[in-house]
């Protein structure tokens, strides 16, 4: 058994971007050995003092490495320092720091950046010296993966430990659509009435993969419901009624399709602490979220204020520093909110005055994500727009800022990621959709269909 384990043991060489993406990544390779070239430590050292978000990750990674290596002697460093093992694991791998500057070139004249060259060269050296043990270079840099393979490295991988799904097409949508008519599929059903509400109890076998607060609709447009409880035998469904759901409205906005209707239902439900809206450009995410926020704050008085925030990556050249206060600086980034306010009040006699009046009455505040850490937001609605550009760690920071009586609305389009460090699969939006899909206080709705114009619809499909 020990011989088989030794044969199966692998050596993982980590690139710098892995530790910037996940500072504790070197602890996640189970019984396998982890090699960190000295070049990686140098890059972390250069990054840690820069005024960028990744600087924090670099500092965390350096401290985490120091915690493992602080008591090791130089001899132990060369032989490998045992990594902390989890309770369920008896055998943990070892951590090696290799001085890659003294390794002779395995492939002389390798093109590209010198640091990438050194890291690839380290992996090639280990591949030769440690054969037949598998040596794997782990990097999130696609170009580096291509160069490493071209240089003769047999095994190169992306870091996928923190990825909850492999393909964004399979991301949880927040609803399940039955083929045909719902009642033709559900033969065995027990129904119970409580006041104005109707509940259906259907066998678990009808929906073996159901989640809490998942919406249920059918192609015949005769049924709409929401999953309230799940046990081993049956599922409790609240009957929302297709027509009743379509007739919901907030601040003068009526849903144009069943997806917007489901979103509106979730947004107006005070028991939903977190509502996640995904979908393509122009499907109404921001407009519906803002309309629901105004309804809950002004008409129903359930919350005291609306805080609007978003990440601020640029899609083109920077226009330089912006003058003014925090809210004035954030105004260009949050133009989608002011555009939506103008749409909601375009029929008023004095639209501009109405927008300003509503912003004051609803106490709408524009805040930067950069200053959310350390806050405790009470009894407010937080609109987090364009959150596909946030990492899981950044979203966690914002979610943990929400105090008693606060509702968080996250919206984003995974096909419009402007961050240099994220993809659709690694986006924080994808992460929270999967993490919160069975949480009793959250709902996810993917808004399909409605696009603002023929031009946008054609561009979405063909460009």
pLDDT, position 78: 80
Measured distance CA(215)–CA(237) in Å, rounded: 9
Over the Cα atoms of the chain, what is R_g? Answer: 26
pLDDT, position 237: 95
Nearest to 135 by CA among 143, 148, 144, 126: 126
pLDDT, position 315: 44
pLDDT, position 3: 39
Beta partners for residue 326, in sequence order: none
pLDDT, position 2: 38
Nearest to 238 by CA among 213, 211, 203: 213
Measured distance CA(114)–CA(43) in Å, rounded: 12
**Integer angstrom CA distances of residue 327 from 248, 309, 314, 323, 345:** 33, 10, 18, 10, 22
Following DSSP, what letter does each residue of 144-183 receive, concatenated?
HHHHHHHTT-SEEE---TT-S-S-GGGS--SEEEESS-HH
Beta partners for residue 288, in sequence order: none
pLDDT, position 317: 46
Nearest to 410 by CA among 274, 251, 265, 312: 274
What tens-digit pLDDT sequence spans the chain (463 residues)? 333 444 578 999 999 989 988 888 898 888 899 999 999 999 999 888 876 667 888 899 999 999 999 888 888 888 889 888 765 556 778 999 988 888 887 777 666 558 888 899 999 999 999 889 999 999 988 889 999 999 899 999 988 776 666 667 788 999 999 998 998 888 888 999 998 899 999 999 899 999 999 999 999 999 999 999 999 899 999 999 999 999 999 988 899 999 999 999 999 999 999 999 998 887 889 889 999 999 999 999 999 999 888 776 544 444 455 666 656 666 665 667 777 777 777 777 777 787 788 888 888 887 777 677 777 889 999 999 888 888 888 888 889 888 889 999 999 988 888 777 678 888 889 989 999 999 999 999 998 766 666 777 777 677 7
Measured distance CA(291)–CA(46) in Å, rounded: 46
Using an 8 Å Cβ cutoff, are 14 and 34 in contact? yes
Within 172-280, where are the H helices?
Answer: 182-185, 242-246, 258-268
pLDDT, position 62: 93
Task: Encode 378-413: b = buried (16+ Cβ within 10 Å), e = exposed.
Answer: eebbbbbbbbbbbbbbbbebbbebbeeebbbbbbbb
Q: How many residues does the chain have?
A: 463
Task: Report yes or no on whether pTM surpasses 0.75.
Answer: yes
Within 242-334, where are the H helices?
Answer: 242-246, 258-268, 285-294, 326-330
Using an 8 Å Cβ cutoff, are 345 and 351 in contact? yes
């Amino acid at each position: 058994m020990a011989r088989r384990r030794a044969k199966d043991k692998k050596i993982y060489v980590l690139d710098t971007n892995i530790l910037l993406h996940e500072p504790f990544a070197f602890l996640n390779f189970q019984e396998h050995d982890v090699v960190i070239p000295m070049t990686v430590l140098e890059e972390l050292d250069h990054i840690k003092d820069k005024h960028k978000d990744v600087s924090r990750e670099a500092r965390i990674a350096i401290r985490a490495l120091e915690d493992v290596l602080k008591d090791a002697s130089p001899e132990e460093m060369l032989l490998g320092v045992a990594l902390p093992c989890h309770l369920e694991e008896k055998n943990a791998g070892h951590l090696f720091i290799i001085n890659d500057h003294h390794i002779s070139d395995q492939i002389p004249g390798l093109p590209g950046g010198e640091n990438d060259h050194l890291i690839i060269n380290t992996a090639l050296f280990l591949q030769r010296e440690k054969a037949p043990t598998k040596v794997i270079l782990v990097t999130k840099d696609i170009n580096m993966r291509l160069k490493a393979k071209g240089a003769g490295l047999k095994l190169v991988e992306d870091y996928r430990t923190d990825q909850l799904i492999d393909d964004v097409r399979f991301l949880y949508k927040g609803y399940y659509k039955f083929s045909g008519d719902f009642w033709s599929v559900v033969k065995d059903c027990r129904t119970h009435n409580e006041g104005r509400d109707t509940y259906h109890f259907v066998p678990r076998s009808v929906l073996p993969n159901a989640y809490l607060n998942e919406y249920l609709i059918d192609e015949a447009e005769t049924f709409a419901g929401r999953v309230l409880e799940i046990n081993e035998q049956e599922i409790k469904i609240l009957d929302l009624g297709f027509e009743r759901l379509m007739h919901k409205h907030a601040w003068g906005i009526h849903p144009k399709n069943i997806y917007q209707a489901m979103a509106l239902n979730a947004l107006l439900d005070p028991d939903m602490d977190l509502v996640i809206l995904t979908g393509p450009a122009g499907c109404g995410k921001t407009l519906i979220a803002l309309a629901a926020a105004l309804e809950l704050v002004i008409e129903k008085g359930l919350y005291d204020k609306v805080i609007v925030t978003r990440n601020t990556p640029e899609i083109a050249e920077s226009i330089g520093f912006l003058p003014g206060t925090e809210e004035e600086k954030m105004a260009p980034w949050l133009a989608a909110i002011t555009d939506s306010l103008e749409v909601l009040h375009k029929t008023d006699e004095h639209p501009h005055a109405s927008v300003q009046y509503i912003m004051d009455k609803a106490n709408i505040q524009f805040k930067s994500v950069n200053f959310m850490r350390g806050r405790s937001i009470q009894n407010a609605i937080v609109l987090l727009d364009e959150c596909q550009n946030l990492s899981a760690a950044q979203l966690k920071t914002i979610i943990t800022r929400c105090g008693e009586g606060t509702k968080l609305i996250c919206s984003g389009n995974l096909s419009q990621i402007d961050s240099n460090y994220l993809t659709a699969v690694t986006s924080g939006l994808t992460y929270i959709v999967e993490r919160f899909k069975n949480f009793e206080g959250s709902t996810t709705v993917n808004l399909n269909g409605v696009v603002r114009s023929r031009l946008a619809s054609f561009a979405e499909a063909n460009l």
